[in-house]
């Protein structure tokens, strides 16, 4: 017996824009999502990035219609869908667990959404074949899911999600169960496929490298709140707060007291005889009062190491002692102890021959003020 179809799906155009307006979701006393608003452009690839419990999957499930918000609205293609059931939102979904029907062939798994939409059988065959070619699985239609590798099963799940060309694709950690090399391969394939289709994609991940690789913009979430949204370059180069600086990429944090700020550059005392310079995150950042406890953030690749000698006039510079060298292929992580047992890590390209430095060597540590950021100390 064929299932009874719901009413026709909500009409949207290819590459539908999505708006999430002041979204709240509470489970008892716990606020899983706390006042999040997002404006996703048509055809954009947006990653929702954050640690476990940050609210990213709850937001995705609310957009899909599987969760009802405590407060707030969702619009897809300019139409309010907050109370529209999932099967009428005309979206495709891909999960970490492939959710393939084990008793159905690859062809039938992919054809299932078309059958539910009562697409003519001749058209179903054409569309399934086209979807298999898009995900590079032509000729796999008769195989069963258990005959496929993990990466192939995920491609089938992706083909099933795109076979009816939905304007919006929602992906919940779809590559989380795959090994690192296969993940890297499929990241690029999904991005290329999204560009080819022109669909809007909202992609949940806790892997910052994956988000930076795939997304046009990244929304960073923490404890249910949106911390920052921007291009991968903006998040990495100009993190809005210390959480973003810590979560997106590798960062040194140096705690100290603010001495003064002038023209967006601050002087910070890390110890009685150790001061450094760092920039405010941007021109609109709230003023910090002298004497305030602050954190200086500096990326390891922006820290320069040299034999003791004069430093550039525009750079922060201080002396230290090399504690450890950690070889990592294209780069070497050098851990240096500064005054008062403060440590800092510099990541030096291997072709700059950091092997000429040995544990115990005195070194000059320096960086440009504009390469570091100063934030209020965490409470």
- 309 band by pLDDT with thresholds 50, 70 and 90: low
The two structure tokens encoding residue 306: 């040299």
* 204 bridge partner residues: 48, 172
d(CA 365, CA 312): 11
When mean pLDDT is compared across 248-262, 276-290, 302-316, 324-338, the lowest value belongs to 302-316
**334 half-sphere exposure, CB direction, 13 A CA radius:** 31
Domains 18-242 and 250-376 share a fold: no
Task: Name the residue ranges covered by the structural domains of the chain.
Answer: 18-242, 250-376
Residues of the chain with pLDDT > 90, as a percent, come to: 64
Quick: pLDDT tens for 122-149.
899 999 999 998 888 999 999 999 999 8
Q: How far apart are the first and last CA of the chain?
A: 61
Higher per-residue confidence, 355 vs 18: 18
Coil, helix or strand at residue 8: coil
The rounded radius of gyration (Å) of the Cα atoms in the chain is: 25
Averaged over 203-220, what is the pLDDT? 95
d(CA 41, CA 57): 20
The two structure tokens encoding residue 154: 């995920």
Q: Hey, CA dihedral for 140, 144, 149, 155, is it positive or negative?
A: positive
Are 12 and 91 contacting, i.e. CB atoms less than 8 angstroms apart?
no
Coil, helix or strand at residue 185: helix
The two structure tokens encoding residue 352: 């700059």
Cβ partners under 8 Å of residue 109, min gap 6 = 100, 101, 145, 156, 160
Residue 121 has pLDDT above 60, yes or no: yes
Averaged over 263-290, what is the pLDDT? 85
Are 172 and 95 contacting, i.e. CB atoms less than 8 angstroms apart?
yes
Are 334 and 322 contacting, i.e. CB atoms less than 8 angstroms apart?
yes
Burial of 25 from C-beta contacts in 10 A (0-12 / 13-18 / 19+)? buried
- List C-alpha distances in Å: 79 to 34, 178, 200, 203, 264: 23, 36, 15, 21, 43
The two structure tokens encoding residue 173: 């950690």
Beginning with the edge strand found earlier in the chain, give each strand of the sheet holding 18-27 in spatial order.
30-40, 18-27, 71-76, 79-80
Quick: pLDDT tens for 13-62.
478 999 999 999 999 999 999 999 999 999 999 999 999 999 999 999 99
* CATH tag, 18-242: 3.40.50.300
For helices 180-197 and 150-162, what crossing angle results, to 10°? 20
The two structure tokens encoding residue 145: 């899911």
What backbone torsions phi and psi does residue 121 show, to the nearest 5 degrees? -60, -35
Coil, helix or strand at residue 260: strand
> pTM of the predicted model, to two decimals?
0.87
d(CA 119, CA 115): 6
Averaged over 272-301, what is the pLDDT? 87
CATH of 250-376, one of 3.30.2350.10, 2.40.50.100, 1.10.150.20, 3.10.310.30: 2.40.50.100
The pLDDT assigned to 351 comes to 84
The two structure tokens encoding residue 94: 């891909």
d(CA 30, CA 316): 44
Burial of 259 from C-beta contacts in 10 A (0-12 / 13-18 / 19+)? middle
The pLDDT assigned to 1 comes to 37
- 374 band by pLDDT with thresholds 50, 70 and 90: very high
- 150 band by pLDDT with thresholds 50, 70 and 90: confident
The two structure tokens encoding residue 350: 């291997």
Task: Tally Cβ neighbours within 10 Å of residue 210.
Answer: 19
Are 305 and 298 contacting, i.e. CB atoms less than 8 angstroms apart?
no
């Amino acid at each position: 017996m064929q299932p009874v179809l719901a009413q026709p799906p909500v009409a949207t155009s290819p590459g539908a824009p999505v708006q999430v307006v002041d979204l709240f979701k509470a489970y008892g006393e716990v606020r899983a999502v706390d006042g999040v608003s997002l404006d996703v452009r048509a055809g954009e690839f947006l990653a929702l990035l954050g640690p476990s419990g940050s609210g990213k999957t709850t937001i995705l499930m609310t957009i899909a219609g599987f969760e009802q918000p405590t407060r707030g609205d969702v619009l897809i293609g300019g139409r309010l869908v907050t109370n529209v059931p999932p099967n009428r939102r005309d979206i495709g979904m891909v999960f970490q667990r492939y959710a393939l029907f084990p008793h159905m062939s690859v062809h039938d798994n992919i054809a299932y959404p078309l059958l539910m939409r009562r697409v003519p059988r001749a058209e179903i065959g054409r569309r399934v074949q086209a979807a298999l070619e898009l995900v590079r699985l032509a000729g796999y239609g008769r195989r069963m899911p258990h005959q496929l590798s993990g990466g192939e099963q995920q491609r089938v799940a992706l083909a099933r999600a795109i076979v009816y060309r939905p304007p919006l694709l929602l992906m919940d950690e779809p590559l989380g169960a795959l090994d690192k090399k296969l993940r890297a391969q499929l990241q690029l394939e999904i991005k290329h496929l999204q560009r080819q289709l022109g669909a809007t994609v909202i992609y949940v991940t806790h892997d910052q490298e994956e988000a930076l690789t795939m997304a046009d913009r990244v929304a960073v979430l923490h404890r249910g709140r949106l911390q920052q949204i921007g291009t991968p370059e903006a998040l990495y180069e100009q993190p809005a707060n210390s959480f973003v600086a810590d979560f997106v990429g590798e960062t040194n944090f140096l705690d100290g007291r603010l001495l003064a700020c002038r023209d967006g550059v601050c002087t910070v005392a890390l110890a009685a005889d150790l001061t450094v310079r760092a920039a405010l995150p941007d021109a609109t950042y709230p003023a910090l009062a002298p004497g305030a406890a602050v954190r200086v953030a500096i990326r390891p690749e922006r820290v320069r190491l040299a034999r003791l000698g004069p430093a550039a006039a525009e750079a922060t510079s201080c002396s230290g002692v090399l504690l450890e060298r950690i070889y990592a292929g294209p780069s070497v992580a050098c851990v240096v102890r500064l005054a008062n047992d403060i440590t800092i890590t510099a990541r030096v390209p291997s072709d700059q021959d950091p092997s000429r430095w040995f544990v115990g060597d005195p070194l000059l540590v320096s960086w440009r003020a504009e390469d570091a950021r100063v934030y209020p100390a965490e409470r």
